[in-house]
A and B are shown apart, each in its own frame.
Chain A
Amino acid sequence: MSAGPPPGRCSVVFVGARVIDPESGLDGIRNVGVAGDRIGYVGTDVPAADVVLDVSGSVLAPGFIDLHSHAQSPTGLLLQAMDGVTTALDLESGALPVGLVCSRAEAEGRPINFGYSASWALARMSLLDGVRLPEPGDPDPLPNCTEIFERHQRGLRWNTLASPREVDGILELLAEGVEAGGIGIGVLLGYSPQSGREEYFRVAQLAESLGVPVFTHSRQMSNVEPGSSLDGALEIIAAAAGTGAAMHVCHINSTSLRQIDAVAEAVAAAQAQGNRVTTEGYPYARSSTGIGSAFLAPDALHRMGITPESIRYLATGERVSSVRRLTELREHDPGGLCVIDYLDPDDPADLAILLKALALPDSAIASDAMPLVAGHHRPHDVWPLPDDAFAHPRSMGCFARTFAWLVRELGVFSIAEAVRRCTYLPATILQEAVPAMRTKGRVQVGADADITIFDPATVADRASFERSVPSSGFGHVLVNGVFVVRDGRPETGARPGRAIRAGRRVAGPAAAAQAALAPTAAAQ
């Protein structure tokens, strides 16, 4: 067979892998050549190349696309690269001002592709509580936007109603953020449950008018009424139906709790009627966030069915022993990261809830990767990891765990289906608004050379709540044709990552890139 036009000379050809391309349905042994920053060849020949690597026995897949990563530092993104990720986007929380944050990260360099939504939380905090956002004169590195949010969530006005005029101002900042390349609007609604329902509806209307999606951490996370998880899901669904906007439900695993059956039915019914509702989940029974979050207030814990002891405070590693201690930590370090046992993984009923959320049809795998914490510091660009560095293990093991646990151990997904949920599916969730995504998530001639090669028999997450260790089993990871992981080891100096922006292609005109995609791979 021939796969598209004869390639120019390839920099590297991977030989003998099981190539999975979810869009075309290709799942077979092929050779894949990389030419520049694109895939130049997919077929059974071995085109001329500088390097030929035998990867027999491995799976060659599109690089994983993470819709939900707060680990927006060179170190955080390198840990994700070692988990197979080639594009890590912070869409739930987002950034502001998007143009500045994006261009500074670009100048600094990132190992993998990155991008941000326009942050509703930061727009709201800056307008209502006067929180200072990054400015052009600030030194490198700019603070992580998620961190700015976490530090200020006890602000006086943040979790209150905004006036109609204030909402106008918030929407204006968000529109600017999208125009500056923000990939839609990220709405941390669950951290401001007292914000207005009309405000959220207007955010969705704005997104629809701008042609971009909304990424929502649902307002509610509760087994009990009022304000149950179902109410939270229905609010998002109503915004999708009532505005026509594309609404993405973040980590449906952790926000649905024991309402998962009803939430799943509601999402399925909405999707069946053509509403643009999409979902994601991560395969852990523990979540992680700043300890000052609204839903971790002592009088709110029963809503999630948890106690203070369900919370581990990462700066000290302690389990929170009492309501008093929780109150104290929330007061002194509201942004201090913690880990929450929202389900009990040893309880079969709880495990079933988690698996149901993850196995929803067309639900993407997305990590919710968190910034690293080392004591009271946040490592930004160091390697190897400091001994005391820690983050929720999803930050470096989410994707490996998908293949090791969900595929190999539990048989929840086939390999091909898991690959689809890590690659093509997230690309399609974004590609209407983000032309750059039309050439990602594919192993096809002309597609971006974002490639992940792993051993399906041994790929494993190694990070735990005790140890921050990169995943193993990812032999090679390429971003825009450049190795960031080679022979299982990180290329610590490589910075091939590019900024992903809405409505604009990273390099070259979108139409040409799209046209260059040959409908090849399934040909044989």
Chain B
Amino acid sequence: MAHRAPTASAGRRVGETVTSTETGGEPCDLVLAGARVIDPESGLDDVRHVGITGSSIVSVTRQPPAARRSIDLTGLVLAPGFIDLHSHAQTVTGHRLQALDGVTTALDLEGGAMPVGAALAAAGERGRPLNYGFSASWALARLHELDGVELPDGREGRPASPLGVFQRHQHSPRWQRPAPALDVDRILARLTQAIEEGAIGVGVLVGYSPDSGRIEFFRLAQLAAELGMPVFTHGRFVAAEDPRSALEGALEIVGVATGTGAAIHMCHINSTYSRVIEPMTSAVAAARARGVRITTEAYPYTASSTGIGAAFLDPAQLRHRGMATTAIRYLATGERVADEARLMELRRSDPGGLCVIDYLDPQNPADLALLHRAVTFEDTAVASDSMPLLSRAGGDPASLEDVWPVPADAFAHPRSAGCFSRAIGHIALELGLLSLAEVVRRCTLLPAQILEEAVPAMRRKGRISPGADADITVFDPARIRDRATFEELAASVGIEHVLVGGEFVVHDGQIQLDALPGRPVTAGGAS
């Protein structure tokens, strides 16, 4: 991928002069000069000059290297580009909102895709601003094998969005039950095939099929361990108390990771485990201390978002959680769900219809403490769970896949545009719950490390060092803030420059509309 020059309207910090205080060697293409450079791997946190040639970082030096072009970044923070382990916003528009949030690699690992070859091909054909990748979707493999649901395989007339297919069909009759062993064999064969096509591990939405077999999950993890692949899990249960408590779901993951040796990633521990966060984190910390491979992620919001037909939004489940239906906001109409009758109606008529759930009360300090405990739990990555855009006016979501600016009637959970800026600006800088270096680590090196055993390409991401990919995010620590709300999906501010593979996707805070440098990230091989 050729390096692209900044657009003509390039901003005040661009200088065209070649700086050279070092002799010998070819000048690099570009130097990002004078920023506070944070490299979590080496522990570097100091003013440096970062030289880039092609798609790689070639130098990190105290003195500016010879370069064809230089940008003065004095007063800004230069960090590895953010790596989002959990993004369903796999469209050009979705990527752009995430780029303005500092993301350079957006992976859909919890939901995943099936078939993965088709999903990678479709993204590659259209082009993506950010690096992208998918896990093998257990949910789609299962819906296909058990309920005959058609897969988004790229053929004419087939649905395109893996997430959309899943959300529309989550009330399929056999999906919600244990599968016979022979069907499990076929599901596992499909997952294996997807991994051969480049899937990064297996995404397991078991929370949407809580009555699926535990033996199936165990066998799936055994398969993943054998293939050297991680498993990304939305936990089976969400209630605060027995029976079927979130702790039981967490302990299932601990037991399976321990009993198979598989690397299991627990998705959004803030929302799934918020009410059991103490015992859950205690169990995970103890298991990790014994070498059990469990990793975690969180996003810093007190509301979650999913299709209103989700198993865990069943009225009986809500009662067990002690949650009122009014905690749910149905996004298509903006209404708070008044009662169980209305909830049932919406679940029937529009099971995939996105909603927002106030799983914690942001006005309640005790609830906020639960959120903060999850987000600050040791070695927990920041991951957005970004959602695709929908139209409040009821328009076709496909029309929102590649538009800019984002239309006023478009909406999605604000984490889709503000997760990382919120983690840095609010959690770290405003509340002081994490140091700047630590929150940067949780957005960059940590997610890279979670993946790099299975995905060698990740060894070159999440770092600012010679040889690393030039995926770089430059932000202003004085200004960085999320701006997206449930009312308006506004882009974050304070993200000044974002480079993907050496190419500017955001320059001077502006999205670069012709930049599509994103590359596929796949398991096993280089991207």
Contacts and interface: CB of A to CB of B under 8 A. Distances in A.
A280 B443 CA distance: 46
B213 interface: yes
Choose among A233, A240, A241, A243 the residue with the greatest number of B CB atoms under 10 Å from its CB: A241
A202 B283 CA distance: 11
- Chain B facing A: main interface SS: helix
A107 interface: no
A194 interface: yes
A267 interface: yes
Nearest to B211: A226
A1 B183 CA distance: 66
Choose among B178, B247, B286, B291 the residue with the greatest number of A CB atoms under 10 Å from its CB: B286
Given A225-B213, A238-B283, A274-B291, A194 B252 contact: no
A387 to B, nearest CB: 47
A413 interface: no
Interface in A236-268: 237-244, 259, 262, 265-267
Contacts of B211: 226
B479 interface: no
Contacts, number: 115
A197 B248 contact: yes
A170 to B, nearest CB: 14
B214 A226 contact: yes
B258 A237 contact: yes
A405 interface: no
Given A197-B251, A234-B252, A242-B251, A270 B259 contact: yes
A262 B292 CA distance: 18
A198 B283 contact: no
Contact of B214 (A199, A234, A241): A234
B214 A225 contact: yes
Interface residues of A, number: 36
Nearest to A224: B178
Choose among B214, B259, B290 the residue with the greatest number of A CB atoms under 10 Å from its CB: B259
B283 A269 contact: no
B53 interface: no
Contacts of A199: 242
A241 B254 contact: yes
A259 B215 CA distance: 9
A237 B259 CA distance: 7
Contacts of B245: 196-198
Interface in A215-233: 225-226, 228, 230-231, 233
A278 to B, nearest CB: 14
A176 interface: no
B187 to A, nearest CB: 15
B242 to A, nearest CB: 4
A275 interface: yes
A244 B289 contact: yes
B241 interface: yes
A273 interface: yes
Interface string A270-314: 101111000000000000000000000000000000000000000
Given A230-B218, A239-B251, A262-B218, A275 B258 contact: yes
Given A226-B214, A234-B256, A269-B258, A196 B243 contact: yes
B337 to A, nearest CB: 29
Contacts of B248: 197-198
A303 to B, nearest CB: 13
Contact of A242 (B214, B259, B282, B291): B282
B286 A231 contact: no
A228 B255 contact: no
A221 to B, nearest CB: 15
Contact of B290 (A198, A233, A234, A241): A241
Interface string B198-218: 000000000000010111001
Contact of B286 (A225, A242, A262, A272): A242
B287 interface: yes
A235 interface: yes
Contacts of B284: 242
A265 B282 CA distance: 25
Contacts of A407: none
A161 interface: yes
Nearest to A235: B255
A228 B219 CA distance: 14
B260 interface: yes
A129 to B, nearest CB: 19
B280 to A, nearest CB: 9
B63 interface: no
23 contacts: A194-B243, A196-B242, A197-B248, A198-B242, A198-B245, A198-B247, A198-B276, A199-B242, A225-B178, A225-B213, A225-B214, A228-B215, A230-B218, A238-B255, A241-B292, A242-B254, A243-B283, A265-B222, A269-B259, A273-B290, A273-B291, A273-B292, A275-B258
Interface of B: 178, 211, 213-215, 218-219, 222, 241-243, 245, 247-248, 251-252, 254-261, 276, 279, 282-284, 286-287, 289-292
Given A161-B243, A241-B283, A270-B258, 8 more contacts: A194-B243, A196-B245, A198-B248, A225-B215, A234-B214, A239-B251, A266-B259, A273-B258
Interface of A: 161, 194, 196-199, 201-202, 205, 225-226, 228, 230-231, 233-235, 237-244, 259, 262, 265-267, 269-270, 272-275
**10 A-B pairs with the lowest CB-CB distances in the bound complex, closest first:** A266-B259, A242-B283, A238-B255, A234-B255, A196-B242, A241-B258, A241-B287, A238-B251, A238-B254, A197-B248
